[in-house]
Amino acid sequence: MQSPRQTGRSVWALFAGFLVVLILTLGTDALLHLSHVFPKPGERMSDPLFGLATAYRVIYAVLGSYTTAALAPRRPMLHAMIGGTIGLALSIVGAVVTWNKVELGPHWYPLALVVTALPCAWLGGKIQGFLSRPKPARG
């Protein structure tokens, strides 16, 4: 059983991972709108632009899971996968809510976010595990 301090650190790790994803995603979206790569908010984007959005969201999801794993008090991969499961649930809700709103984009876009949620979480946890391994002593 975790102590209250460890539980608080676990919650913080999950929150921080989502915060990283949220800030990077919203920041990139805003930058791409301001630089006229993306159309004005409310205007429909082309499929290739949704492809670009998917690509950086995948990268940010890996980075968010890495952050969660790095801040976890113990069992970093479990924390990364819990974050991924929450992300999966949110992606499913997003897909369901937007499914009949064709002005928001093609159906493949929210499905791509659903399909990539857990693999991104796993990869972020794996990268954190690899980078945190003790280095062999030089002798």
Q: Is 24 a member of any domain?
A: yes
Q: Is 43 a member of any domain?
A: yes
Predicted TM-score (pTM) of the model is: 0.90
CB of 72 closer than 8 Å to CB of 133:
no
Q: What pLDDT digit, counting tens, does each position of 22-50 carry?
A: 999 999 999 999 999 999 888 889 999 99
Q: Is 137 a member of any domain?
A: no
Q: Residue 1: which pLDDT band, with cuts at 50, 70 and 90?
A: low
Query: What pLDDT was estimated at residue 102?
Result: 81
24 is in which domain, residue-wise? Answer: 8-131
CB of 80 closer than 8 Å to CB of 128:
yes
Domain count for the chain, please give it: 1
Residue 135 pLDDT > 80: no
Give residues with Cβ within 8 angstroms of 50, minimum separation 6: 105, 106, 108, 109
Q: What Å distances lie between residue 31 and 28, 46, 52, 96, 139, CA to CA? A: 5, 17, 13, 27, 49
